[in-house]
Structure 1
Amino acid sequence: MSRTTIKDLAEYTGLSLGTISKYINGGEVKPKNKDLIDEAIKALHYNVNQFARGLRTNRSKTIGVLIPSLENFFCTSLVASIEEELYQHQFSVMVCAYQEDSQRERDQLRFLQSKNVDAIVIVPTNSFKTARMVRDIIDTGTYCIAVDRKLMGIKCDYVGINNFQIAYDVTSYLLEKGHKRIGLLGTGQTTLTAIERYNGYAKALEDAGIAEDQALVGFGNNFASGAYRQARRFLRLRNRPTAIFATNYDTTLGAITAINELGLSVPEDISVVGFDNLSVAKVFSPSLTIVAQPMQEISHATVTRILANIDHPDAAGDDVVLKGYIVYGSSVLQRN
């Protein structure tokens, strides 16, 4: 079978060779012509040399995504949603993970920059060096956007949820259910996201006139293993909590694992509110009350800003704060 050429595309579309060549080489054509050429490329299996095209247009049609871990549910959901939407705009995605290691994070940033990606989506650490590197990348003309965790001290677009408010709402809900000893499982004290969720929890206790007990606050290592150890510590206290609020997916897994291993029942022995992965929450028995993040809205806001600012990276610096919401299950016991 002979290789498809731009002449074949021209015959299929009825457009001139010049129009076909202009579009394939990254030029602007009328929207109706673009749609027609795209249809021909797909129908005739024409192979666009994106590398050569990128050299001519200074665009690789590739977006880099840097996340803490490929085992993190939020991160993999984010990647899947972003990839799906970017595909509709003919962008590919290159994914790297840094395993919560700030040095590895910067190494991966250098790698993505070396691949001439058109933009970088990052779920960052709170490292000053990382923030400074992102600022330098923006200064060289590559658009960057932080998701879930904000980069402090630099001008960079950000998309996330109302972390303080949703943590306040969850804690208030548990208080309304009669729980006064509420354990908080956090993911560390270095990211703004974790700090905001802790602050929301602490403020709800304060507003209810309940003194915070530091023995009921546990910060792990951003992995389920750290949350598991903290949950076991909670559950072995002489005056253990009556409820646990797990502030992300990994801490939810850690809490449930510890509860099961100690032979306790939810919600009879311990009430639980988790975070992320609504599908797992529904199949858990009893169904888990959980904070859900609007993943489609997060990915859409991220992609929208990539497309709007990819040619103007230094103009970015807006925050998009979306609303998380509580999905009520049967994992919280009424105590009064």
Structure 2
Amino acid sequence: MAATIKDIAKKTGLGLATISKYLNGGNVLEENKIAIEEAIRILDFRVNEFARGLKTSKSKTIGVVIPELSNLFFTSIITIIEDILRQNGYGILVCDCRTDEKLEYEATEFLVNKMVDGIICMPVSRDGAHLKLPLSKGIPVVLIDRNVEGLNVDAVLVDNVSASEAAVEYLIDHGHREIGIICGPSDIFTSHQRQLGYTQAFVKKGIFPKQGLVKYGEYTVESGYESLKQLVMENEKLSAIFVTNYELTLGAIIAINELGIKVPEQLSLIGFDNMHLAQVVKPRLTIISQPIQKIAENVAHIMLKRLVQDKYDEAKIVNLSTELIIGESVLYKHI
């Protein structure tokens, strides 16, 4: 038979109020804390989180809605967030909405009905309609990677404009002018920001980017593969490509290998987001590296702070910088 709080009281000689206070995260005398923890260990006591949730209206669970569980960037961040939240007594419930706005709305509604204490989201919808329900119920929301205009919610972002600008400027400084870019969906905040940085890099250098060098697609290996082939076939003077996502980069590399294109002799390439891929590919890939650890830590700590606040103040927007890691996949092109 499972041990109860009364068994702990009998074992320690302490009152139920003191034990309950400790179990619910309150401060008790150090000697009482030691006695309770020892009794919990001996009795193999387990907190009934469901019953406690009904009593306190707190589930000690954070809901997470992401576009694709197969996306390495998303899963890497969620893994770190889960570690931090678990260390602070919270579990997570992850929903994959498959980059579908309807599924995203349903997933958010499901999490609200499960009485999650907070929601972490990488939004698919541009207007954030799915977030209005949790916000109306006072459930804190923290966004990752993508902001939603018009909503006063916390967000941890990467300076995608500067990231893209730095990559394209590097290519321009190496003599390239016919530079293609492979982006994610055109209506996604992140994708739009990276395309904007691409354009700004040309403008900054006093150059007008040529038409037909921007490809939009899904954040998938298949999309990267097809986009690379289209860019090469449609632009015979193409000398460099910047790929703006890990899965897209992987797909582009597969297409390059299949077409027998030599990097960087025939095509210079800058990829995105994975140091292991950069080191495995020959020649070593030049990439934009995102601060995954910092993104995850900021998201988790902002959420933890919101969970203990009595009132919601102005949204906290964190903008983190990326780093251009120089490899051997860009060749200097004499103009």
TM-score in same-fold range (> 0.5) = yes
For 1:74 and 1:39, the matched residues in 2 are separated by: 41
- Once the 2 structures are TM-superposed, how far is the Cα of residue 334 of structure 1 from its aligned partner? 2.1
User: Residues 227-258 of structure 1: CA distance to partner in whole angstroms, max 9, x if unpaired?
Assistant: 22111011123524211111111211121111
Tell me how far 1:59 sits from its aligned partner. 0.6
Work out the CA distance in 1 between the residues paired with 2:149 and 2:202.
Answer: 27
Give the structure 1 partner of residue 323 of structure 2. Answer: 325
Give distance in 2, aligned partners of 1:197 and 1:151. 16
Structure 2: distance between partners of 1:13 and 1:326: 58
Q: Deviations over 1:86-108 (max 9, x none)?
A: 11101101000111111111011
The residue number in structure 1 matching 2:84 is 85
- 2:191 is the counterpart of 1:194: yes
TM-superposition CA deviations, 1:64-106 (whole Å, max 9, x none): 0100001111111111010011111011010001111111110
Counterpart CA distance in 1 for 2:159 and 2:203 is 19
**Contact 1:187/1:227 (<8 A) preserved:** no
Counterpart of 1:166 in structure 2 is 163
Offset at residue 42 of structure 1 (A): 5.6
How far apart in 2 are the matches of 1:168 and 1:301?
24
Which blocks of at least 5 consecutive residues in structure 2 are unaligned?
none
- Which residue does 1:119 correspond to in 2? 118
| 1:171-225 C-alpha deviation (Å, 9 max, x unpaired) | 1111112211111000021122111111111011112122212211100123222
CA distance in 1 between counterparts of 2:32 and 2:75 reads 32
1:208/1:63 CA distance change after superposition, 3 Å: same
- 8 Å contact kept, 1:102–1:127: no
- Of the three residues 132, 145, 148, the one matched with 2:142 is 145
Matched residue SS, 2:143: strand
Please, what is the CA RMSD of the aligned residues? Answer: 2.3
For the residues of structure 1 that align with 2:280 and 2:39, how far apart are their CA atoms? 45
Cα deviation, residue 154, structure 1: 1.2
**Which aligned pairs between 1:32-47 and structure 2 lie closer than 5 A?**
32=30, 36=34, 37=36, 41=40, 45-47=44-46
Give CA-to-partner distance per residue, 1:33-53, whole Å, 9 cap, x none.
Answer: 797456764675321110111
The aligned counterpart of 1:220 is 217
Give SS of 1:236's match: helix
Match of 1:326, SS?
Answer: strand
Aligned position for 2:245:
248
Match of 2:296 in 1: 299
- Other structure's SS at 2:333 match: coil
Give the structure 1 partner of residue 205 of structure 2: 208
Corresponding position of 2:257: 260
Alignment of structure 1 residues 257-296 onto 2, 5 Å = 257-296=254-293
Shift of 1:135: 2.7
Structure-2 residue corresponding to 1:177: 174
Matching residue of 2:313: 315
- Give the secondary-structure state (helix, strand or coil) at the position aligned to 1:215: coil
SS in 2 for 1:214: coil
Residue number in structure 1 paired with 2:52: 53
Q: 1:238 to 1:106 in 2, by over 3 A?
A: closer
Correspondence for 2:108: 109
Give the share of equivalent positions with the same residue, in percent: 37
* Whole-angstrom distance in 2 between the partners of 1:274 and 1:35: 52
Judged with a 3 Å threshold, the aligned counterparts in structure 2 of structure 1 residues 3 and 104 are, in CA distance, closer, same or farther, namely: closer
The residue identity in structure 2 corresponding to 1:332 is V
Question: What secondary structure, in the 3-state scheme, does the structure 1 residue paired with 2:252 have?
Answer: helix
**Equivalent-residue separation in structure 2 for 1:18 and 1:76 (angstroms):** 41
CA distance in structure 2 between the aligned counterparts of 1:267 and 1:39, rounded to whole angstroms:
63
Name the SS for the 2:142 alignment partner: strand
Structure 1 residues 222 and 172: alpha-carbon distance in aligned structure 2, compared to 1, 3 A threshold? same
Contact 2:224 2:248 (8 Å CA) reproduced:
yes
Q: How does 1:2-13 map to 2 (within 5 A)?
A: 3-6=2-5, 9=8
SS at match of 1:315: coil
TM-score by length of 1: 0.91
Three-state SS of the structure 1 residue aligned to 2:269 is: strand
Q: Matched residues in 1 for 2:270 and 2:207: separation?
A: 19
Change in Cα spacing, 1:212 to 1:105, as seen in structure 2 (3 Å) is same
Q: Give the count of matched residue pairs.
A: 332
Q: Distance in 2 between matches of 1:173 and 1:184?
A: 14
Task: Tell me: CA distance 1:257–1:313, structure 2 relative to 1, closer, same or farther (3 Å).
Answer: farther
